[in-house]
Structure 1
Amino acid sequence: MTEPLLHLISPGDWRGSLAEGAVVPPSLYEVGFVHLSTAAQVALPADRLFHGRQDLALLVLDPDRIDVPVAWEPGVPGDPESMRFPHAYGRLPISAVLGVLPYRPRPDGGFDAPTLPVLDTAGRCTLAVSSLLRRVATSEMPVTGGVAVLTEPVPLSHQHNQLVVDGEVDAATLVADADRVLGAAGLSHRKALLTGEHLAPTAAGLEALGWEIEELAVMAARPGGPLNPFVGQTGIEDMRPFWSEGWCRAIPGVDGDTIQQLNDRYQLEDEEAVDTRLLSVRNDLGDVIAGCVLKIDGATAMIDAVETLPDHQGRGHGNALVAQALALAGRAGCDLVTLDADAADWPRDWYARHGFTQVARSWSAQRR
């Protein structure tokens, strides 16, 4: 891939682009093209148009997947005279978007040139997870090696209120950061997502300090395959009883408020960040007996929450759900599907039979 191109976008506009199947900003109708930038250029329009804005994102585009003409032309008055910006003369397919990178200003409101992650298969998979958490969050704070995300509508969802770390940090510093940020937010739990092989010692250090550690296999597969007529797409209200039963099994004694928020988070993600498809298998009475969540985010899709009710297991429902998710992702223009599996449990091998291979490791660390 040649050097990626970037497009500045708000979360709402990106969610609209996912629904449209293409990035179609007002500039396409006003001046006839979509404004793009390189990593060295993008701070200029960000400072000029969005100084201090806290919720911007950068669409990281593969130029080879942009199927409309791209011309390198002068910018606006005030830009360096010798600088030429890429302008795309047409709609940008979401299949060209390899990743969605949160783009935050400095404390003074200005923007710096971003450091782009390596968007190979592993990089795209890990970015998809961390980016989604950051884009859904109502606020974030810098911590050593990453950020802390806080999501006010669902404070009881530990996943959406935690430290998201991919840089160097030792266990003691991470604990102090978690106490400082999550404690100040009035949260009783302490949780962190650590991504990258270099953080294995940090995970071990947290375990030695009494934290619960779950090693996750970050897995990837190519989408495609036929659709299954027995797997449907379901509204969130129909999924709530199914999910609630699952949470009661997974968390003995869980209270109603927690269940409500654990269910609400999927709706929040759909409204704020990604195209969420709720897939289900129903019995003859119309009740949901198996389900999973497919999240489409440009050319990358995520599979989450694959589950079958205990009385209906062993009948191929999980196989049908994963196959349907892969088929739908392919039809949405994705070329990569990712999921996290417990590295020490049987689903990792089960996903491997569906074509998933491990491409990275992460650790979910929690102190209750």
Structure 2
Amino acid sequence: MTSTAPELPRIHRFLSDFHRRQAARTVEFPGAVAVLDDAYRHSRWNNHVLAYGAVDPEALAGYTDEAQSHLPYRFAYVLDEKVAAACVEPMERAGFRHATTLIMAHTGPVPEHGGAREVDFDELRGPVAESWPRFAPRATPEQIAHLVERRVARRRGADVVRFFAAYTPEGEVAAWADLYMDPAAGIAQIEDLVTVEAHLKRGYAGRVLDTALHEAAAAGCTTRFLTAFAGDWPHTWYGRRGFAVVGSVARFERV
């Protein structure tokens, strides 16, 4: 898929800026940057190479090996779809697996406030930690700790970073999501929308999503987007909630 959606370059800039800003340190390469954080070494979100420009497809594997030589995995994102397509063959030759993340922009009407409330990360730490074994059943306690605590670094990623949660009538956290915004640029990303397994299919995720969309629009963000794995079901649910695919990001991993 090659997209010509007019908002895609702005989304790419936002993603590139976010990953740079949340990093503890960066390493520059031609057309790419390694974003690294030893505090969360088990988190690929915090340790990867991001190809944001016309990176040499034959060089990307080497950049990733160089930047992540201290880690047990190699991980890279490629933002531009044409560059990504050129990278597939040399990256697979170097032992990387290729997958696709969809970029979905909200094209429907702005919903009413969903009733979720803004929370501090301390309120989410327990529920987030309890949710991770469902998604990563083989993860060690240390790995899960890094996947949980990495949310602290996200505060650095954008001008405005907010966490929202929906609660059960009994006061338990049922679902949550992040909202990252650059109001001056008019762009917002919704990320990590998760529902506690015991509360699935009760509308809690929709309440959180509607709240995030409403708050982003109220802040002047006319471009509102999220990402979803191409091979998983949530992107079809997002489609029913007013989101449309406007592009994709390539993921390359070797372990």
In structure 1, distance between residues paired with 2:138 and 2:229: 23
SS at match of 1:237: helix
TM-score by length of 1: 0.63
Instruction: Name the stretch that deviates more: 262-271 or 123-132.
Output: 262-271
Residue 196 (1) aligns with residue 83 (2): no
Q: Is the 8 A contact 1:144 1:177 kept in 2?
A: no
Shift of 1:119: 10
Task: Check the 8 A contact 2:81/2:250 in 1, yes or no.
Answer: no
Distance 2:8 2:40 in 1: 29
Q: 1:119 to 1:215 in 2, by over 3 A?
A: closer
* Whole-angstrom CA distance in 2 between matches of 1:273 and 1:322: 19
Give the equivalent residue in structure 1 for 2:147.
262
Verify the 8 A CA contact 1:194 1:203 in the aligned structure 2: no
User: Partner residue of 1:344?
Assistant: 231
Choose which of 234, 237, 248 in structure 1 pairs with 2:122: 237
Q: 1:322 matched to which residue of 2?
A: 209
Letter in 2 for 1:363: A
**Alignment partners' CA distance in 2, 1:333 and 1:264:** 30
Cα 1:178–1:121 change in 2 (3 A) is same
Give the CA RMSD over aligned residues: 2.2
Shift, 1:215, TM fit:
0.5
2:31 is matched with which residue? 145
Structure label with greater radius of gyration: 1
Q: Does 1:362 align with 2:246?
A: no
Deviation at 1:271, TM superposition (A): 4.4
Equivalence for 1:311: 198
Letter aligned with residue 318 of structure 1: A
Shift of 1:172: 4.3
Mapped contact 2:96–2:252 kept (Cα < 8 A): yes
User: Residue 162 of structure 1: which of 48, 56, 60 is its match?
Assistant: 48
- Within a 5 Å distance, the mapping from 1:1-368 to structure 2 comes to 120-169=6-55, 171-183=57-69, 186-198=70-82, 199-221=84-106, 224-229=110-115, 231-271=116-156, 273-298=158-183, 299-368=186-255
Does the aligned pair in 2 maintain the 1:219–1:357 contact within 8 Å?
yes
Does the Cα contact within 8 Å between 2:5 and 2:246 map onto a contact in 1? Answer: no
> In the aligned structure 2, how far is the partner of 1:320 from the partner of 1:204?
42
Deviation track 1:2-34 (CA, whole Å, cap 9, x = no partner) reads xxxxxxxxxxxxxxxxxxxxxxxxxxxxxxxxx
- Name the % identity: 27
> TM-score of the superposition, structure 2-length normalised?
0.88
Contact 1:126 1:218 in 2 (8 A): no
| Separation in structure 2 between the aligned mates of residue 284 and residue 156 of structure 1, nearest angstrom | 35
Asked if the contact 1:292/1:321 (under 8 Å) is kept, the reply is: yes
Amino acid of the structure 2 residue aligned with 1:246: S
